[in-house]
Structure 1
Amino acid sequence: MLLEPSRAVTPPDSPRIRSQHGIKAVRSKSRTWNGVTVYALDIEVLPGRAWIDLTSEQGSLSIILETVGGRVETRQKLDMPNPAHHQTLRPISLIPKGMTLWGHAEDSRRVREARLDFDFAPLESVLGEELDRRKFETPLLTFRDDRIWRIGELLAAQCKTPDSLSQLYGDSLTTALFIDLLRMGKRPPNERKQGGLAPWQLRKAKDYLQVHLSEGVRLRELAQLTGLSQSQFGRAFKVSTGMTPFRWQTQARIARARELLLDGRLSLAEVSLATGFSEQSHFTRVFQRVVGTSPGAWRRAQRW
C-alpha cells in the first residue's frame, strides 16, 4: 500500500514533482544551456522510507551525485526493488517522457542529485541534425558512465555557484553530455576521426574569443562564425588546439592577467575584473590552478 504524500519545502525552480513522501526539504538551483535545464538538487530525507515521483514531461536524466546514509534507487514500480541499483556506483537513470518512475530512499538522510530535463528542438539545432528520439523512449533505470557522471557534477556546480562568464562552459558540457548519451551502445572501433578547423575558421574563433575576453561567449556564436553546428565546432576546435573553447578562453584570460600583473598599475581586484572574473576569489582560484601560484605571489616573484 502506498503512503500518502507528505509536504516538503520545494523551491519554485525545482523540477515538477507530482507526489512525494518522507521528504523534509528540497533545495534547488537551476540553469539552462542548449535546451537542457539542469537542476542541482539537495534533498533532505526523513528517517525511514521515502519516495519521489520522477515522471518527466520532457524526458530527463537523473544523476545521483552523493548519498548520505542508507540507499537510493530508481524503480519502475514503487513496491518492486531494483537490485541493480545496489550494485552500481554513481547510478544514472534515463527517464522517458511521460513514463512514471520512482526515486526510492531507505534510511537515507541526504541525497545530492543532478536532474537534467531535455528540450529536443534546441538540441537538434546544437547538434546540426535531427535526433532519433526513439532512443529516449526506453528507460535505462541504472547504468554507470563515469564521464557522464562527472559532467553532471560539473553542471550542478555551475548551478550552485554561477559565473556570468561560464555560459560557454555550460554550452560545451551539455553538448558533450548529450553526444555521449547518443553514442551509448554504439561506439564503432574504427570510427572516423573528425578533422580540425580550417585555418580561417580557427583564426575567426580565436579572434572572437580574444575580442570578447572579458565577456560571456556562447558556443553557438563561435559555431555560427565558422558555419558549423555546435557539436561539430566543439570537436574540431579541440582537434585543432588540444583543448575545449572554454579552456582556451580561460588560458587567454590568464595570459592577459599576467600582462596586467607585470604592468603593475592595477590592483588584483581590478585585474580580475579586466580579465572577466566576477570576483577576485574566483580569479585567484583559476590563476592558481593554471599557473601554480596565487596572482599576488606571482607578481611579487617577477620583481626579483
Structure 2
Amino acid sequence: MTYLHSMTSSTDGIRALAPARWRGLDGLVSVFWDAEGHAGATGYYLSPDPRIVIFFNDVSSHIRMTNLEGGDNLQYRPMKRAIYVPAGVPLWTSFTSFHRFSHLDIHLHRDRLLKYLTPSLGASLALSALRRPVEIQDAAAIETLAGLLVDEVSSPSRHAAFAESLVGSIVTGLLNLDMDSHELEPANARLTQAQMNRLIAVVNERADYRMSVGEMAEAVGLSESWFANVFKHTTGKTPLQWQLTKRIGIAQEMLEQSDLSVAAIAAQLGFSDQAHLTKTFRQVAGATPAAWRRMRQGD
C-alpha cells in the first residue's frame, strides 16, 4: 500500500539537531528525530491517521502534554516514553525546561492497522483498540523494538518485511489488546469500591486536593484513557468534574468551620485567585462563597 502521511503541526522553541531519517513501508512511514526544546517551547500536532511516538530517553520531567486546546496546568500531564495517538486526536506539548531528546514517529494508515489486527481480534475489537489512546512510561521492550526499527530506517539492511514486522510487534506491544480485559468494553465496566477508596485517599493527601487525570489513573492502576471512561460510568462525572466538586465541598467546610477569608481558601485549594474560586463555587453551589457562608451562619 503506497502511503504518504500528512500531519498538521506547528512548533515554537523546538529544533531538529540533524535531518530526520525516514523510511516508507507498506501502509506506514517511520521517522526518527534528534531534537531539542527550550523552556517554554510548545508544539501542536494533528494527524488524520493513527500514530505512535517512542522516546529514547525519559522526557516526563521536561515535556508536558494535553489533548485539550487552551488546557490549564491541571489538564497537562507528563509526556510518557511511548504513546499511541488515535486518528484525529490533537496533541499540544509544552516544555518546562531545556531538554535534548530523540524519538521515533510511526505514522500508520488506518486500513493497514485494521488489516494487521483484524485476523487476531476481529473487526469490532480491532476498531475499538484503534480508538483508544495509550500512554506508557515503562516501555523497555517497545524501546528495544524501536531501536531495531531505527537501524532499518537509517541504514536498511534487510527486506522491508523485517521493518514492517517490527512495527507490528510495536503495535501489539503498545496497544491494549488483552482479550480477557474489561478495558475492551469500558461501557460495561465500573471502578470497584476499593479503587474509589484508594483514589479518594490519594486525593485527600494533596494539600490542594488537585491531581491530573493521569495521576488519578495511576493511583488506581489503570490506563488513563480507560480510567476516564469507566470513571464517568461509575460517578456520572468526568474525573476533573468530580475533583472540582470535591474541592468545592472542602471549600464549603472551610467556610463553615473556619474564619479564613475567601482569598485564603482560594489559595489553599489551588485556585488562581479569589475570583476564580468565586466563579467556580457559584457554578457548583449556586451562590458565591460569601453568600453561602452568610446563609450557613444564619441557620
TM-score by length of 2: 0.48
